Structure 1
């Protein structure tokens, strides 16, 4: 096959300590999963073994957790928003979370509620879905350039959706300002001074997918992952999942690698410095779900302590991942993966076909025995763009 050198910048984490977090643990994840199990339509999303691709890429195994099949919402994000709203209502109405479903919560609500959030698409869709299930209102703000299809998905769930002229982080600030003025409840997966409880619950809710994955690995008697690639926006999902894996397997396994778009690589830059570094500007990347410039301060300490490497990569890496997953080697399953969902797998493929692939593989400690866990965090949430990439060849590698 042809060689091509896509932009993949790797930095080793000089600040690794291996110290986990009690907030993002197996015990907290199991509380969240117990709630999710009570929701109508709950079932674990598939964990696929991509053995033919693993052989081609020179690793022992590739395990892919496919979150495109989560509650019909085409992404994992509802795990966090729904769980945070449930925790909030349980506290407000003195309910037992372990015996709560949306039906019991809906009956408990005494006054109309409005949930507000900022999203690049998937998180807002999850919050709108939860509000709809509860018979409440949702107002969702989206940053400049958001895809029309993602807007319509949110509106189809009965929410008001407003696209701003700002980037993601400035839109978060606008949402908070308007919510304070109008008495809305903000359901956001990043944190700031005075706003930490709801984002903590959201991150704990994301860890349901990690609990499922580990259970699936063990039931199938598969080897434990030696590596995990986690894509990042603010780092909320990455911290929730990595916290679980560190608590379960220990900090030395798996070898955790964070992946971001090079136009919104706040965690990559933070990893270099050892403290939070923000990124501003438009952050124009096809990985809309990762176009965030300010790390979540709740997740950052864990990511700093337990990540081995940070990667900043170009959009063509995500596009490559989309095409590889959508056009599998026999007998691997076909996976429909959106731009933010495919970037971890895209990194593996791009490394294999890079002119310096042996050096890069050694850098990441990838060998023929490696078992790599990747997450497809979204499906084709923007179908037109998905086809532009997979059918039309947009963002080519050559």
Structure 2
């Protein structure tokens, strides 16, 4: 690696801390989520890409990548959380249980009349806002979306096309969240935000539950490959809701045998990594513009609920420069031999990019050894978005932007 490149920083626990298994992610709740998603005409399990040749090249037993570019036609996984949270909000307004609801039920004329004046608001770099806008529009409701400064114009237009009133602010992500909260309080809108803080936990928990459909699918698909459990998972984190959902699901399923899990973040927005370094177990914040190509992970304040899952059940925390994500994008775009191709965006590719570097780079041998990555390892990654910014995707994949050597 060139000396001028920023270094990958990491922290590995001798053993996981352990803690209370997340009750809101138990099997009974997961079934409710999956049943609701199954009620949607657009629902279909996304593919689990198999990278067998790459695994052999790197000296691993197997690599599998959950490809979320196919989710609901939205090119990202976020619709899973937004649809479920909005459904739960509608159930609360209509005084019914989610077990008695379906997407078709909410589209009945007499029901749509009762919910048509509901307005949902959120802050997003793109994918979450598009998912909220899409769900709200399909239900005949309105949505308002605020984006942080530096957000992609292409992602803004995609949110508007999904039906939202959307704009790019001059705020960073966390301040855009605070703006959305302020507007919801002033106008009586329903805030659908994928991060939690004291006093705002119910809806983020519903969003986190919504993401578990992806985890549930991945385990079913691995079993079809004859794999009972992955030995390792690489999970990217922004606020930590996605990572917490995946790790919480697998922790509840496997208990003391939870897969070795590596939490991966951009080095300019590594609030989970910095939180893990702190000895008191409390979350830490990162400020500033957080100018990373991993826009979906450019978050400086952890979800207070899912942070506890990541703190207690993850094995390692890694802070990555942008070139790690860029490498992951190129590796998946150019598969070896008969491996499946995955079109992965910046935030979706950092996990696989890091895995390849850990296995190849001599300066990361210590991390490789501590994680126990070897010929018997079965690694699961999640490509959480496709080319949601096609122009930037081309700059990275075609033109070699953010080179790693």
TM-score, normalised relative to structure 1: 0.97
For the 8 Å contact 2:36–2:103, the answer to whether it is kept is no
Q: For residue 253 of structure 1, what is the aligned residue in structure 2?
A: 258
For the 8 Å contact 2:67–2:383, the answer to whether it is kept is yes
TM-score, normalised relative to structure 2: 0.95
Structure 1 runs, 4 residues or longer, greater than 6 Å off? 2-6
For the 8 Å contact 1:318–1:346, the answer to whether it is kept is yes
For the 8 Å contact 2:348–2:384, the answer to whether it is kept is yes
CA drift of 1:98 comes to: 2.5
Q: For residue 292 of structure 1, what is the aligned residue in structure 2?
A: 299
Q: 1:359 aligns with which of 360, 366, 372?
A: 366
Q: For residue 12 of structure 2, what is the aligned residue in structure 1?
A: 12
Q: 1:324 aligns with which of 331, 341, 344?
A: 331
Q: For residue 314 of structure 1, what is the aligned residue in structure 2?
A: 321
For the 8 Å contact 1:20–1:251, the answer to whether it is kept is no
CA distance in 2 between counterparts of 1:363 and 1:187 reads 39
CA distance in 2 between counterparts of 1:27 and 1:392 reads 47
CA distance in 1 between counterparts of 2:246 and 2:367 reads 25
For the 8 Å contact 2:25–2:245, the answer to whether it is kept is yes
Report matched runs for 1:148-187 at 5 Å: 148-187=153-192
CA distance in 2 between counterparts of 1:18 and 1:331 reads 41
For the 8 Å contact 1:6–1:350, the answer to whether it is kept is no
CA distance in 2 between counterparts of 1:217 and 1:350 reads 24
Count of residue pairs brought into register by the alignment = 397
CA distance in 2 between counterparts of 1:132 and 1:361 reads 46
Deviates more, 1:15-24 or 1:167-176: 15-24
CA drift of 1:89 comes to: 0.8
Q: For residue 75 of structure 2, what is the aligned residue in structure 1?
A: 74
Q: For residue 384 of structure 2, what is the aligned residue in structure 1?
A: 377
CA distance in 1 between counterparts of 2:224 and 2:45 reads 13
Please tell me whether residue 302 in structure 1 is matched to residue 324 in structure 2.
no
Structure 1 SS opposite 2:304: coil
Structure 2 SS opposite 1:286: coil
CA distance in 1 between counterparts of 2:94 and 2:346 reads 40
Larger relative helix fraction: 2
CA distance in 1 between counterparts of 2:185 and 2:129 reads 19
Q: For residue 44 of structure 1, what is the aligned residue in structure 2?
A: 45
For the 8 Å contact 2:78–2:127, the answer to whether it is kept is yes
Deviates more, 1:345-354 or 1:218-227: 218-227
Structure 1 SS opposite 2:250: helix
Please tell me whether residue 231 in structure 1 is matched to residue 231 in structure 2.
no
CA distance in 2 between counterparts of 1:115 and 1:288 reads 22
CA distance in 2 between counterparts of 1:357 and 1:188 reads 36
Q: 1:223 to 1:7 in 2, by over 3 A?
A: farther
For the 8 Å contact 1:64–1:374, the answer to whether it is kept is yes
For the 8 Å contact 1:316–1:396, the answer to whether it is kept is yes
Q: For residue 340 of structure 2, what is the aligned residue in structure 1?
A: 333
CA drift of 1:324 comes to: 0.2
Q: 1:393 aligns with which of 393, 400, 404?
A: 400
Please tell me whether residue 217 in structure 1 is matched to residue 218 in structure 2.
no
CA distance in 1 between counterparts of 2:2 and 2:392 reads 26
CA drift of 1:223 comes to: 4.4
CA distance in 2 between counterparts of 1:102 and 1:223 reads 32
For the 8 Å contact 1:24–1:244, the answer to whether it is kept is yes
CA drift of 1:372 comes to: 0.5
Q: 1:100-127, CA deviations, whole angstroms, 9 ceiling, x for partnerless residues? A: 2223113324151110000011000000
CA drift of 1:219 comes to: 2.5
CA distance in 1 between counterparts of 2:362 and 2:249 reads 35
CA distance in 2 between counterparts of 1:24 and 1:101 reads 20
CA distance in 1 between counterparts of 2:181 and 2:57 reads 48
Q: 1:131 to 1:192 in 2, by over 3 A?
A: same
Deviates more, 1:72-81 or 1:104-113: 104-113
